[in-house]
Structure 1
Amino acid sequence: MTDALEPATSRRIAALAFPALGVLAAEPLYLLFDLAVVGRLGAVSLAALAIGALIMGVLSSQLTFLAYGTTARAARFYGIGDRRAAIGEGVQATWLALGIGTAIVLTVQLFARPLVSALAGASAGGEVADAAVPWVRIASLAVPAILVAAAGNGWMRGVQDTVRPLRYVVVGFALSAVLCPTLVYGLMGAPELGLSGSAVANVVGQWLAAGLFIRALIVERVPLGLRASVLKAQVVMGRDLVLRTMAFQACFVSAGAVAARFGAAAVAAHQVVLQLWNFLALVLDSLAIAAQSLVGAALGAGQLTHAKSVAWRVTVFSAVAAAVLAAVFALGSSVLPSVFTDDRAVLGEISVPWWFLVAQLPIAGVVFAIDGVLLGAGDARFMRTATLVSALVGFLPLIWLSLAFGWGLLGIWSGLTTFMVLRLAFVGWRVLSGRWLVAGT
């Protein structure tokens, strides 16, 4: 049995999952640090950073297929022992990242003002938009680097190396963390750039990480030319995953907009619990990444029984982890909310979404694990359809009915729960049907 097809023990799953979790957590942690640095410049700069970060987040999150799609394709080649072909997938994904990233940069440079103005509105007499536009124009220069790093994470996960991506990402964000206060405040003789210094620091750090990923490709000594057939296959998978991501974003944006209609306390409570939900999703998604790598390799090698074994083990592992998290948040329901706010009105609203979160976690543990299994199998078309149907039938109707009938957070979080239950039904049926078990590359 090759290294790729060793038994998927708890230790092996953890060896892939923990470094992947570090990569997933690095950016949110850096954004919190950036927020703290810029926050000392005042409310206008902080609001401008929030708008700019929202734009950058939407741009980068739509293109996660460069990581997840590349993992699925690279893992299959790795499973048959063809490491060069697996890394070749990374080469093509990197070219795709550079092309798409450059197009995004040009678009943002042209349309930054209307895009920012649409989000900022007339806030603070237009000061927020004036402050955000330069930040967005500078920060957008990092988009190709962000996408190159996504492609690099993709092919390295495919060859079951999640340690090097963690090192590269940590080095990049560490440099950004040093440069951010230095350039924002003008420390140690550096120019005092204010808010723009935050954007410059981000660009430099992201390109350092991207350079490390590109160097990793070069030292592998694989052909670096473009291959149209591979690019086309990656774009087709990417289309399905982008549509899936858009469904998620439409739901969560709608939920936030509707929660805001029920008052400041309701939207604050919703946001606190949603951020917790997102954090816990990152924790569980690290296990899904392990599933992608292991399942893709097993299917590439034609070892269908092994692929099923991996799927079951990772799903059980994730379900147990989710159940433990649910127990922690259930037992801490009287204490933990006060960690995030001391506002009595918000605390009064938070109990509804809090208990929905607790109830959802065991479901999410299973769903996210099977997501990883199906992504590793390259089953992107089914996942796209399942997510769209779950959103259109479950989440979105209940969100907007909540607004119409005044159901508040109860209706909104019922919608999110229905969405997760429907997704569980779809992906559970799919994995039990065995239709994802397609051998070969």
Structure 2
Amino acid sequence: MIGYANEGWELAKGWLLSPAAWSQFALLIVAYLLAVYVSRKVNPVLTRLLTPEAENQSVFAKARRFVAIFLPLVMPVLAFAFTAAGEGVVRSIFDSGAVIAFGKRVFLFLAARILVRDIVRDPFLGLLGKFFIVPAAALYALGMLPFVASKLEETVVPLGNLSFNLLWLIQFAVVGGFIFWLGQWSNSQSSTYLDKQEMRPATKQLAVKAAEIAIFGFAFLVLMNIMGISLTSLAVLGGAVGVGLGFGLQKIASNFISGVILLLEGQATVGDYVELDGGEAGTIVKMTARATFLETFDGRWIVVPNEDFITTRVTNYSDQGSANRYEVPFSVHYDTDINKVPDIIEAAVSKHPAVLQDPEAPDCELRALGDSGIEFAVEFWVNGIDDGKNKFTSEVLFIVWNALKDNGIEIPYPHRVLEIKGKLPQ
């Protein structure tokens, strides 16, 4: 460190005593002031040009908004450009430009810092810029980037029969992280686009999954190609994965294939209310490669392996549409004229706003001659699912009660006859 400090002092002393260095310092100051002046004049104009109306959501408007994000870079980029022009003039006159070249690198460092601090909003890209991009720009500004890169390249990390140098690992982390972030962004954009298309939910889910696999598969191939990794070297890894699938990962492979079958056949998709043979019931809110997520009426999520949808019996209440039939049982007294009951109940239930007349109007049926009363049940169709017999069934029960009371029909309750043999006690 003392040696580097001495070299820095000698360099600074040489710059301070050199007329060429003073002229370069002057050009740096002029370039900076000119960049500040031009940016203050240009930024308002660019802001007006790149800010469309709030209700404009076209592709061109979105592109303008995206470009406007980078307006804070105008000043350091202009300073870099003006300094580069001044460097050409200085080198032609003095055949030296170390000072102005250093200033140009400093402006580039400022641009990188502004980009990471003020422009990047994604947490992962911000982390990448904070720990890799800004330090690399700082080393470049100080002229130490080649030295540090050579030291990192000389430092080899052994990993069994393989070995990597630190520079390669850093490059792999930066490039790989950016490529897979770009893949994640592309996947979200494609999912948003596919969600807006008119197609069956199962087909839409399959298209989203296919696009996701294609995007990340392509990102993986691009990363391998950029880093110079031969795909043939992955054959051993592929064989190991195949053995793992054959032994320890059978369930994962089975669930993945079952998920693909579900998406292809469309027997259950997002938004359907299903009930499995094991008792699990709920609305499908999410389908992944491994499992399907059901949301119950009380807000809980049930994770069901995809294999269960293939190997067990599944009742899909939403497969043929949103209409479902329910029934409400009730009883009347034996003194009732039961011929009037169906017309009274059917007319009353039909007035409920959620009860449908198609595919069938409310139907009141005589079910049994019970011990305490005559048993009836009214069947009705509604759109949607009765959440645990607490929504439509409850409302129709109120209607039945009020209709019977309004018509003077008694609802029975159990009666018991007590027979006493012999004389009653005194």
Assess same fold via TM > 0.5. Answer: no
Tell me which structure has the larger Cα radius of gyration.
2
TM-score, normalised via structure 1 length: 0.25
TM-score, normalised via structure 2 length: 0.25
**Bigger helix share:** 1
**Bigger strand share:** 2
Question: Which has the higher relative contact order, 1 or 2, with Cα contacts under 8 A spaced 6 or more apart?
Answer: 1
